[in-house]
């Protein structure tokens, strides 16, 4: 039996034609993904296959975005080529979101910081430590990754952070790192490191405006919690 290609689907199961008639916004997530993979398997259409795939992620594209190539072949009809196609599409979505966020160059709150870094950090399985460099008007100069660590902790060099701020003439900085565990609460090490950087920044007349711990869907702000 041949695979069910898009051209062989029933009229109501043709997302490509539906998209041309009604626009992309009229399609479900499964229908959009079905267009990418082009065909299903011998038992189900591409739409049905992607509906079943999404069901394993609770219909959450963020969870699907964490999948690797080896996670897809459990579904008959999704080989390496289709897996890479899906992963590439989801990565493009993240990059588009990142570019849209970058246009908001002024930082007014912890939510602004989270908006910039969530696309960068939400899918990582290891901790990364970043510094956001700002000018006197709270506009972004640059964002710099300081370190990449293990799953449980990351080591940030205070001197590296202050050096970046001085080189780019930042008068304000924000610290950002992720917790792959999904728990945004700061550890004892997080608190100690924040205080070390705060003291170092003060000696350089640089203001530490926040330290934001990012998880997928939540964050912890030292400033919002009154710690800074």
Structural domain containing residue 84: 6-98
Please tell me whether residues 121 and 217 are part of one structural domain.
Answer: yes
Please tell me whether residues 116 and 213 are part of one structural domain.
Answer: yes
pLDDT of 159 above 90 = no
Mean model confidence pLDDT for the chain:
86
Whole-angstrom Cα distance, residue 159 to residue 113? 22
CB-based contact 194:161 (threshold 8 Å): no
- Which of 214, 134, 152 lies closest to 177, judged by CA? 214
Please give the model's pTM, rounded to 2 decimal places: 0.61
- Provide the pLDDT for residue 99: 65
- Provide the pLDDT for residue 3: 53
Domain boundary residue among 98, 126, 149? 98
Span 113-121, average pLDDT: 92
Share of the chain above pLDDT 90, in %: 54
Domain boundary residue among 42, 64, 98? 98
pLDDT of 101 above 80 = no
Cα 165 → chain centroid: 25
Whole-angstrom Cα distance, residue 3 to residue 37? 12
Question: For the chain, how many helices (H) and strands (E)?
Answer: 8, 5
Please tell me whether residues 91 and 162 are part of one structural domain.
Answer: no
Span 93-99, average pLDDT: 75
Please tell me whether residues 35 and 125 are part of one structural domain.
Answer: no
- Provide the pLDDT for residue 107: 93
Q: How confident is the model at residue 221 (pLDDT cuts 50, 70, 90)?
A: very high
Q: How confident is the model at residue 139 (pLDDT cuts 50, 70, 90)?
A: very high
- What tens digit of pLDDT does each residue of 54-85 get? 999 889 888 898 899 888 988 898 999 999 99
Please tell me whether residues 121 and 213 are part of one structural domain.
Answer: yes
């Amino acid at each position: 039996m041949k695979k069910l290609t898009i051209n062989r689907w029933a009229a109501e199961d043709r997302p490509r034609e539906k998209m041309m008639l009604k626009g992309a916004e009229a399609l479900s997530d499964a229908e959009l993904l079905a267009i990418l993979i082009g065909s299903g398997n011998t038992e189900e259409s591409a739409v049905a296959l992607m509906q079943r795939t999404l069901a394993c992620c609770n219909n959450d594209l963020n969870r699907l975005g964490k999948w690797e190539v080896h996670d897809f072949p459990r579904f008959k009809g999704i080989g390496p080529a289709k897996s890479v196609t899906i992963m590439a599409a989801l990565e493009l979505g993240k990059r588009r979101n990142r570019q849209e966020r970058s246009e908001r160059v002024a930082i007014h709150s912890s939510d602004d910081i989270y908006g910039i870094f969530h696309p960068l950090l939400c899918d990582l399985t290891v901790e990364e430590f970043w510094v956001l460099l700002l000018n006197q008007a709270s506009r972004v100069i640059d964002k710099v990754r300081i370190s990449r660590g293990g799953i449980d902790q990351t080591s940030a060099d205070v001197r590296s952070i202050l050096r970046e701020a001085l080189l780019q003439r930042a008068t304000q900085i924000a610290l950002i790192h992720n917790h792959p565990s999904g728990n945004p609460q700061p550890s004892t090490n997080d608190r100690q490191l924040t205080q070390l950087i705060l003291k170092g920044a003060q000696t350089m007349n640089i203001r530490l405006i926040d330290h934001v711990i990012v998880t997928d869907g939540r964050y912890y702000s030292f400033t919002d919690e009154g710690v800074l």
